[in-house]
Amino acid sequence: MGSTRKYWKWGWVALVLSAVLAGSILAGCGLLTKQMTGNTSGSLNPLDELQGDGDILTGPPPLEDTLNLGTVTVGNTVKGTIRLYILRKQQGQNTFADGATVTVAFDPKQGSPGPLVVTVTKGTISLPPNWTKQDNDTLSVDYAEASVQLTATAVGSFNHVVHFDASGDKSGGDTLTRGGNINVRYTVIPASDTEPPRVTITFTPDGKNGWFVTDPACGTVVATDNVAVTSLEATGGELSNIQGLGTTHVTATICVTGEGTHTVTVTAKDAAGNEGSDEEEVKIDTIPPTITITTPPNGAEYILNEPVYADYSCSDDGSGIADCSGPVANGDPIYTSAVGTYNFRVTAEDVAGNTSKLTHTYSVVLKFYGLLPPYATGRKYKIGSTFPIKWQYTDYYNVPQDSADAKPTVSIQGPYTCPAPSGGTTSLPATSGASGLRYDAAAKMWIYTWQTKGLKQGCYDINIDSVDPYPDGGPFRVNLVTR
Ligand SMILES: [Ca+2]
Ligand SMILES: [Ca+2]
């Protein structure tokens, strides 16, 4: 109102606001210690009051001052007191009259997050009978008072506004009125946080028995807290993709590198310094087992029915051997019961599930058994006789085997100067299919009848070639003499 403002000259009269936080905070919050000192009751010391949140309010309305309720914990109640004084200003007629009663009303204008309850406990200020004769800046002894009560319901920084109006008899008649606002500011923090964050590390091994067969091995981390997880740290592994720090739910990826067994620890903290952690063992084995086959060596050749004992082993430096197996158990006889070529394959698996295999090939063959009597090494034979060359194909124990399809070829070269070969001078033609060659099925014996009539004296070498799998024989030296 223009007329009101013209009528007022707020430079000479002021209300003095003093806030006395005489209240208490429940549940052990002691942040208002300073404001709670002194002046909760009894006679007033104006100077002390002025050192608090209250300032002398001057100037035209609205007047604002800050009543700082400080830091409030959620769920707790804080109380304060607002006191208003009159400050004497020598500004002509615009001052309250001697002995005037000034009436003060308080009204919370807005509130968030919860209502600020303002209760007027003393609604009037009685000025002394000689008020207009007081010196400039004299503060009234009497004051108006209202209590302020707040119950914090949410976290954050807030302020309320309390409006007040004061009115009373003016010096020289009429009425002086005055209004203004007081901001009530406070910060609400969470209730005391003693609950540590919870951390869960989850690894899902891709191998067997809890082992990873890949490197690096990665898992997930989830950290939760009733208020907020403010930090996440790891030992034994590397965190990445951390999301949600500063919230109640934080996730991350954790990876571990290197063969062997690792211990991984992830620790989460909250703002109150509480710590929570989880620890997991991570086992990595990416290397397959090593296989050694000593018997049979690769390419080995054994005689039919020859006793041969398997000798093989497997080793693994990581998770260890879970399985090592071959055609027969280690130490048992390998198969030599039929002529042929065989694979001896050993497979191995480690505990983590890595596998390897190694194959040796061996063959089982017959033995050329001969020449049979009458041939004998070093013996001399008379030219002109009929010389029977006999041989068999046998197993390891010289037991003759059926060899009807051996298709042997007999070749004889000579004569050489006895006893040592000195290079052939005559080569007799090969006698394959010659009428002198026959197979005795009953005896499982081959016989070649060599007609020596007309041959020269000397040594001759007999070689017998056979088709696979029958072995060749020779050379067998025969010394032909004239008599
Ligand atoms: Ca916490
Ligand atoms: Ca391994």
CA–CA distance, 443 with 446 (Å, rounded to integer): 9
- Centre of ligand 1 to C-alpha 125, Å, is 49
Torsion of CA 139, 145, 151, 157, to 10 degrees: -30
Residues 79 and 210 in one domain: no
- Centre of ligand 2 to C-alpha 326, Å, is 19
State residue 37's pLDDT score: 25
- Centre of ligand 2 to C-alpha 321, Å, is 8
Whether the per-residue pLDDT at 177 is higher than 70: the answer is yes
**Residue 473 burial (CB < 10 Å; 0-12/13-18/19+)?**
buried
β strands within 100-224, DSSP E = 101-110, 117-122, 124-126, 144-151, 156-169, 175-189, 198-202, 211-212, 217-224
Residues 135 and 159 in one domain: yes
**Nearest alpha carbon to residue 140 among 274, 219, 49:** 49
Query: Which region, left, alpha or beta, applies to residue 280 given φ > 0 means left and ψ of -120 to 50 means alpha?
Result: beta
- Centre of ligand 2 to C-alpha 40, Å, is 78
How many C-beta atoms surround the C-beta of residue 393 within 10 A? 26
Q: What is the amino acid identity at position 230?
A: T
- Answer with the one of 365, 381, 408 that is the final residue of a domain: 365
| pTM, to two decimals | 0.58
Residues 244 and 182 in one domain: no
N- to C-terminal Cα separation, the chain: 165
CA–CA distance, 432 with 441 (Å, rounded to integer): 18
Place of tokens 């032909």: 480
- Centre of ligand 2 to C-alpha 259, Å, is 9
Residues 136 and 162 in one domain: yes
- Centre of ligand 1 to C-alpha 221, Å, is 17
Rg (CA), the chain: 58
- Centre of ligand 2 to C-alpha 286, Å, is 6
- Answer with the one of 284, 301, 330 that is the final residue of a domain: 284
- Centre of ligand 1 to C-alpha 202, Å, is 22
Residues 32 and 180 in one domain: yes
Residues 181 and 36 in one domain: yes
What is the edge-to-edge ordering of all strands in the sheet holding 229-235? 211-212, 275-284, 260-270, 229-235
Residues 76 and 177 in one domain: yes
- Centre of ligand 2 to C-alpha 349, Å, is 8
Pairing of strands 144-151, 260-270: unpaired
What pLDDT band is residue 154 in, cutting at 50, 70 and 90?
A: confident
Residues 11 and 157 in one domain: yes
- Centre of ligand 1 to C-alpha 268, Å, is 10
Range of the domain at 264: 198-284
Pairing of strands 14-20, 101-110: unpaired
Q: What is the CATH number of the domain that holds 220?
A: 2.60.40.650
What pLDDT band is residue 111 in, cutting at 50, 70 and 90?
A: low
Phi, psi of 174 (to 5 degrees): 70, -170
Angle at 31 between CA 29 and CA 36, to 5 degrees: 105
Q: What is the CATH number of the domain that holds 13?
A: 2.60.40.10
State residue 362's pLDDT score: 98
- Answer with the one of 252, 284, 316 that is the final residue of a domain: 284
Q: What is the DSSP string of 290-316?
A: EEEEEESPTTEEEETT---B-EEEEE-
Query: Which ligand approaches the C-alpha of residue 351 most closely?
Result: 2
Query: Which ligand approaches the C-alpha of residue 198 most closely?
Result: 1
Note the pLDDT tens digit of each residue in 428-469.
544 444 458 899 999 999 999 888 888 888 888 899 999 988
The count of structural domains within the chain is 4
- Centre of ligand 2 to C-alpha 323, Å, is 12
- Centre of ligand 1 to C-alpha 27, Å, is 18
Residues 361 and 384 in one domain: no
Query: Which ligand approaches the C-alpha of residue 191 most closely?
Result: 1
Query: Which ligand approaches the C-alpha of residue 352 most closely?
Result: 2
Mean pLDDT, residues 160-188: 78
Residues 164 and 204 in one domain: no
Pairing of strands 380-382, 473-481: parallel
Sequence-ordered list of residues with C-beta below 8 angstroms from that of 73, at least 6 positions apart, any chain: 25, 27, 29, 152, 188, 189, 190, 191, 192
Mean pLDDT, residues 373-381: 85
- Centre of ligand 1 to C-alpha 195, Å, is 4
Residues 264 and 325 in one domain: no
Query: Which ligand approaches the C-alpha of residue 348 most closely?
Result: 2
Mean pLDDT, residues 68-93: 74
Query: Which ligand approaches the C-alpha of residue 283 most closely?
Result: 2
Residues 29 and 170 in one domain: yes
